[in-house]
Amino acid sequence: MNHGRYRVWHWRSWSVRYAPPALLLAALLMVLLLVMAAYGLTVGSMRVPLADVVAIVMGHDESGLSARIVLDIRLPRILAAIFVGAALGVSGAIFQSISRNPLGSPDLIGFTTGAATGALTLILFFSPSVLQITLAATVGGLATALIVYLFALKGGGGGYRLILIGLGVGSTLSAVNGLLLVRGDLDDALWANIWLAGSLNGRTWSQVWPLMLGVVVLVPVVCFGARALTLLEMGDDIARQLGVPTERLRLGMIMCAVILAALATGTAGPIAFIALAAPQLSRSLLPGVALPVLCSACMGAGLLLLADLLIQALPLAVSVPVGRMTGIVGGLYLLWLLTRQR
């Protein structure tokens, strides 16, 4: 509404004119992330007051038991939850956009299983370091993606063909993983089973840094290609007419998505549900908005951090690894989704 030369302020017109809704939602999710992270640094077997946590994180008090707990145990765990969730959220957004299907998720179409195959091979037959496990998971995920992409390319490289071939390859690799566990040494197999459950317990800085570096480097690349990827959702022919290099874009985005999913898997083990739900929740809150990369990252980080905080609040007798908890919730969510989709 105009009154002479002046415009009456309204939040909706302001958000559209001055701040894109995606940025507003991302900012809100980041604030919620900070609140949950601050709470997570205070709770545990030894409670640390928030004022002490702030002093420790700001570097004013780096000595004593509380500082070691916050800096060496809780902070790496919380950062692992945030960046693993962010990597999975962005990876899921890319795959759902490329396949044009809400079931296009790296944990459903085999890429996370392939990353687990690479990591399990190293765990069961060698004595790997944390960095080597992450690299093996990345190589396994990339090899799986290459196989799925080459098979899917014969039928156009997208849509249901990508999902169905990914499901077939993922089922095969899941059987291979079971065989590796049977053939491996008993102690190594027990460790591998714990890793396969997906957990954030005992995460260290050496596990978090590679993941953080990968997310910081790749997410801006995905943001840069998000508009072209949105055009690709309209079909290859229309995208080519608009100047989009379809195959090069599709391959590049798949590489980014697989690396993000593999880095997340190498850091925390297989984590279900996050890559499936985070992009869909972001799109439901932002109808009509192009590929919500930042919102998917923040949503994935928030979902995984919330799941980890809820698990820590449970009694020790019923506590489960975060990967199992997200898998249970993800299975129920998938059933609900299938009843809503044709």
Angular region, 69: left φ>0, alpha ψ -120 to 50, beta rest: alpha
pLDDT band for position 75 (50/70/90)? very high
CA pair distance 276, 330, nearest whole angstrom? 8
CA distances from 168 to 28, 110, 158, 232 (A): 39, 8, 15, 25
pLDDT tens digit sequence for 312-326: 887 765 678 888 888
pTM for the full predicted model: 0.87
pLDDT band for position 289 (50/70/90)? low
Please, what are the domains in the chain? 76-340 (1.10.3470.10)
Average the pLDDT over each of 123-132, 261-270, 308-317 and give the range with the smallest value.
308-317
pLDDT band for position 209 (50/70/90)? very high
Q: Vertex 264, ends 263 and 266: CA angle to 5°?
A: 65
CA distances from 76 to 13, 49, 67 (A): 41, 18, 13
